[in-house]
Structure 1
Amino acid sequence: MTKRLSRNEPMADRLSIEILHSLTPFHADGRDTVTQASRDLLLGCIKFEPRIHKVFFPSFEAPAGLSLVEFGTFPIERLATVFVAEAISKVKDEYGFHATIEKSRVEEHLDEVYGSLQWKKLGFQLYTLLYPDVVKDPKTNVRLRDFLLNEGHVWAERLISHVSEPAWTRAVHQKMVRGLYSEEQYNRDMNALFVKLHLLDPQSVIPAYQYLLNQRALPAVNLELATRNYLEGPLDWTSIEHEVANAERKASTPVHASRMSLPSDLDVYYGVDVDEFIVTECRNLGLWAGSRPHNCKVVKAKDRCAIM
């Protein structure tokens, strides 16, 4: 039973092995909150890529945690360009920007990135970066971070001792016998346990794994700590659909045009920066189809005030 906490109670006194063991990244419906936070952070990193940011997300501010992400050999610039190109190709705009992108090449690039070992490595980095602050006890708001800051290695030892108790093994076994707990759920939760141990004390993971592996009453456990796909599947292009459409609708008028000039029709170009992005950044990756959008419209003199 979780005790009620005083607001002024020292953090060290709030911590317990029961809370530590109960900390989970999973919602009741199975959704992983840390995976979602990791995907959100990655999307923020994409939006803040310089060549992407100035054209499509000029008002977007750097996401918290950006400076802590180490991309290493992960092709973040390539992913950013291809991801935006995917959105361009799927937003059915009136100017035909979508027709200027080679959709098959976009899919090839995305399949390569999402199926790569680098994608999994980045996912593990983001997941372990965010886990300590995202995962918390709903009743006390105690986070895994609080355990890390209070002799994490000691808590790792206590956590291993907790799952080594016969009562814990019996409880898990009985849930499985009753059909309340599947082998898939067990391995999912054991991986969450290994993540906690890795963050508390990396050296504690193997002993915990070996112990669980030797429990005949429990299913065989898989050590997927660094091989699981924490970012899961492809990013959702519809999450940037609005910004891409806005960039395509952005009107540009000739620099010599003014309200005081003689009445005349005016050529107005839409999405000039998007067009430039396509024929430079997208072209460099073989994503440009070789065509240009029909993004010029003649505005009659009587309508000029509406666009100037």
Structure 2
Amino acid sequence: MASHLTVETLLSLTPFQPDGSDAVTSASRDFLLSCIKSQPAIHRVFFPSFEPPPLLKLVEYRTFPIDALSTAFIAEAISKLKDPYNFYRIINKAVVEDQLKEVYESLHWKKLGFHLYTTLYPDVVRETSTNIRLRDFMGADGHIWAEKLASHVMDPRWLRSIHQGIVRGRYTEDLYNRDMNALFVKLHLLDPQSVIPVYQFLLNQKELATRNYLGGRLEWSLIKTDIERAENKSKTPLTASRLSLTSDIDLHYGVDVEDFIVTECRAMGLWNGTRPDNYKIMKARDRCVLM
């Protein structure tokens, strides 16, 4: 494999798909959703069969408010679903929106995004024809490849080709910033000390803009089915099995969801103090039909 590694291949490795989407950003967002699903209080109620990914142990949240994001994200999904038990009515939607906006627009969001992005990048990004990954350049020789890559992009000929592309309209400012940020990610993963010199050099050539590696807010509809399943889960009294077929039975739906709202959501001010209409009576005649 080592004989197939070249600086040209290293430079060509890209997370960007033909449609312009970023494969690593997509993977990072999916991974963050897995992190949310794995939070103990949330996993137990909404995702009991979900298996946390092995990479979860590599995540360093540090000051990122993962508990706050997770709870607010679940509350958002509950508030957007018009369920028959009125769980959506007991969520304080305005507070949920404020909490999520605070997270999504924070520096913490960008820092976590970069952390997840660089965690997944080495194995997600690969050269399609040879299957060479960025990880193949990392390791003991990582700093050597970083030096080679830095020398290549600081070569006047390479810079001239980039600038000519911009001047002639074949290469836009947005694409330039996108690709330069991708370059910095490679250098960071190969040898973190190589980033600043290259960044400062390129900054002297042209203004650069940093990016948000996680993108915008998470899409609550991705967990719609899981929320509905938890809300529709019914519980009967422990004595139900001993009741005769002529007895009515009390049913409570989404008991664990209600408990989540009045504990986890309440602690963040996301519960408005009301209760859902999740208590039903199953008539004896209906029990007979079901049985």
- Counterpart of 1:245 in structure 2 is 228
Greater share of helix: 2
Per the alignment, residue 143 of structure 1 pairs with: 133
Q: Is the 8 A contact 1:17 1:155 kept in 2?
A: yes
Give matches, 1:3-42, under 5 Å. Answer: 11-42=1-32
Distance 1:254 1:268, change over 3 A: same
Counterpart contact for 1:105–1:287, Cα < 8 Å = yes
Question: What is the number of equivalent residue pairs in this alignment?
Answer: 291
* 1:76-128 deviation line (CA, Å, top 9, x unaligned): 11111111000000011011000010000101111111111111111111111
User: Secondary structure at the residue paired with 1:104?
Assistant: helix
Q: Which moved further from structure 2: 171-180 or 295-304?
A: 171-180
Change (3 A) 1:250 1:118: same
Structure 1 unaligned blocks of 5 or more:
1-10
**Contact between 1:12 and 1:150, CA under 8 Å: does it hold in 2?**
no
Q: Which runs of 5+ in 2 are unaligned?
A: none
Distance of 1:240 and 1:223 partners within structure 2: 33
Shift of 1:244: 0.2
Aligned-pair distance for 1:62? 0.6
Q: Map residues 111-126 of structure 1 onto 2, 5 A cutoff.
A: 111-126=101-116
Aligned mates of 2:15, 2:123 — CA distance in 1: 11
For the pair 1:221 / 2:207, whether they are aligned, the reply is yes
Contact 2:245-2:288 at 8 Å conserved across structures: no
| Residue of structure 2 in register with 1:179 after alignment | 169
User: What is the identity, as a one-letter code, of the residue corresponding to 2:128?
Assistant: P
Equivalent AA in structure 2 for residue 122 of structure 1: L
Distance in 1 between the 2:249 and 2:82 partners?
26
Percent of paired sites with the same residue: 63
Return the alpha-carbon distance in structure 2 between the equivalents of residues 112 and 306 of structure 1: 51
TM-score, normalised to structure 2, is 0.95
Partners of 2:270 and 2:209 lie apart in 1 by 39
Which contiguous aligned blocks of 4+ residues in structure 1 show a shift greater than 3 angstroms? 305-308
SS in 2 for 1:235: coil
Q: Measure the CA separation in 2 of the matches of 1:257 and 1:283.
A: 31
Q: Matched residues in 2 for 1:286 and 1:295: separation?
A: 22
Q: Which moved more, 1:82-91 or 1:121-130?
A: 121-130
1:66 matched to 2:66: no
Classify the secondary structure of the residue corresponding to 1:65: helix
1:94 paired residue number: 84
For normalisation by structure 1, the TM-score amounts to 0.90
